[in-house]
Chain A
Amino acid sequence: MKFSILVNEGPYTHQSSDSALQFARAVLDKGHEIYRVFFYHDGVNNGTRLTVPPVDDRNLQKRWSELAAAHALDLVVCIAAAQRRGVLDEGEAKRHGKGEGAANIAPGFRISGLGQLIEMGIQSDRLVVFGD
């Protein structure tokens, strides 16, 4: 079956990201496909490389990046939600004059529009929402 996942909450504050990650692993373990993972609302904060959680805690951004690398996942951060919350790639950082090195999008994530969310709803057998 073809799944897509929507993550609507930020890391650590809310279980949404942890649950989505575990669900994604289970989906892949069972031999299903993940079409896309879309990060919206505070969920975009899962995609910043600048988080530094304590060493004895899990690093959610790293877990997502590693899962994406291992399974060629498409991790998409909503551009409008990301701009509000200061998550930028090179192009966006430059476009908004935020200076050299301001880009903070984490490896394996890409920034794109809300159309990607609608499209994954159309293309997937199941869209599973993790949020409040």
Chain B
Amino acid sequence: MADVRRFLYINRKAPYGTIYALESLEVVLIGAAFEQDVSLAFLDDGVFQLAKGQDTSGIGMKGFSAIYRALGDYGVTKLYVETDSLATRGLTLDDLQAITFEDENDGYTEKPSIIPVNKAEMAKVMAEQDVVLSF
């Protein structure tokens, strides 16, 4: 497709309290087929979506945190995490699950998908987009 646009999906909500996180993922997975330039942003309570060790057995809901680790296979390799949101919630990058992708432009070397950014850098990421979908 000649017209490649920069899509940013902004995730601002905790994963199971509302359906936004799950349905945002569904858009990302469908959208991957359109071969656009896709980035994901995680800020506010959205940083909890990437927390490691999630176990939903106690709440009777299907867990979906493993899907984030598969995003690289869909060509979704840029996951911007806002570090102020982490710090505010007592989290560090070590509390997030490891998410990687195989870089086809670099001999399929495994590289981290999570890109930590501060607020100013996140604003810059947003300003560079063509389409911003906020969930």
Contact = CB atoms under 8 A, between A and B. Distances in A.
Interface string A33-73: 00000001100000000000000000000000000000000
A131 B36 contact: no
A119 B34 contact: yes
Interface footprint category on B: 20 to 34
A89 B30 CA distance: 22
B23 interface: yes
A38 B70 CA distance: 27
Nearest to B130: A121
Contacts, number: 51
Question: Chain B: interface secondary structure?
Answer: mixed
Contacts of A129: 132-134
B135 to A, nearest CB: 7
B20 A118 contact: no
A127 B131 CA distance: 7
B51 to A, nearest CB: 21
A114 B34 contact: no
Given A40-B27, A119-B34, A129-B133, 10 more contacts: A8-B135, A41-B20, A41-B23, A80-B23, A113-B30, A114-B31, A121-B130, A122-B1, A122-B5, A129-B132
Interface of A: 6, 8, 40-41, 80-81, 113-115, 117-119, 121-122, 127, 129, 131-132
